[in-house]
C-alpha cells in the first residue's frame, strides 16, 4: 500500500483494492487463530481447539490486534453499510475512496459517517464511517505473527 502511494501513478480505486486484499489476508490469519462461531458443535470445538493450540504454540495473546475483524467486516458487508448510510445520513453526501486527511473535507454538509473509505497516509489510519483503524498496527501484528511462526518452525525442525 505504501509502495502504491509512493508511485503516485495509481488511482485511489487501485489503492483501496489492495487495502481490501490486505484485510482479507489478515482476516484469514485471524480466523485461524480465533475461529468464528459455528452452529455445529463438533466443528466449533475442533476449530476452537485448533485456535487455542496455535495461539499457545506461537505465544499469541488474546488481545492481539488481528483478533478484531471489524474493518474487514465493514468492507465485506459494504452493501449493508450503504443501506445504513442511506437511512441515516442527513444530507445524503458521500465520500468514498479518499486518500488524505479528514481535514481536507470542509463544511457541515459531510459528517464523519458520510465518509465510507478514507486513508490518511500521514497517520496510517483507515477510516470507515467515522471509525478509525490503525493500518500500521495491523501490519505490525502480521509481522509479529509471521516472526513467531518462523521461530516455532525452526524449533520444531530442530527437535
pTM of the model: 0.86
Exposure string for 24-61, b = 16+ CB within 10 A, e = fewer: eebbeebeebbbeeeeeeeeeeebeeebeebbeebebe
The residue ranking higher by pLDDT, 107 or 105, is 105
> pLDDT by residue (tens digit) across 3-16?
778 876 678 888 99
Is the pLDDT at 159 greater than 70, yes or no?
no
Query: Which cell numbers in the block locate residue 100?
Result: 488524505
Is the pLDDT at 144 greater than 90, yes or no?
yes
Is the pLDDT at 32 greater than 80, yes or no?
yes
> What pLDDT score does 45 carry?
94
> What pLDDT score does 3 carry?
78
> What pLDDT score does 111 carry?
94
Mean pLDDT of the chain: 92
Amino acid at each position: 500500500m505504501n509502495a502504491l502511494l509512493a508511485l503516485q501513478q495509481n488511482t485511489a480505486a487501485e489503492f483501496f483494492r489492495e487495502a481490501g486484499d490486505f484485510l482479507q489476508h489478515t482476516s484469514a490469519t485471524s480466523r485461524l487463530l480465533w475461529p468464528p462461531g459455528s452452529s455445529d458443535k463438533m466443528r466449533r470445538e475442533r476449530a476452537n481447539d485448533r485456535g487455542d493450540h496455535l495461539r499457545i504454540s506461537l505465544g499469541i495473546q488474546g488481545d492481539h490486534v488481528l483478533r478484531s475483524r471489524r474493518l474487514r467486516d465493514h468492507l465485506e458487508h459494504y452493501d449493508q453499510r450503504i443501506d445504513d448510510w442511506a437511512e441515516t445520513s442527513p444530507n445524503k453526501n458521500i465520500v468514498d475512496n479518499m486518500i488524505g486527511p479528514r481535514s481536507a473535507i470542509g463544511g457541515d454538509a459531510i459528517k464523519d459517517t458520510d465518509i465510507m473509505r478514507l486513508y490518511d497516509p500521514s497517520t496510517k489510519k483507515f477510516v470507515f464511517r467515522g471509525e478509525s483503524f490503525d493500518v500500521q498496527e495491523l501490519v505490525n501484528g502480521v509481522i509479529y505473527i509471521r516472526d513467531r511462526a518462523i521461530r516455532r518452525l525452526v524449533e520444531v525442525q530442530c527437535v
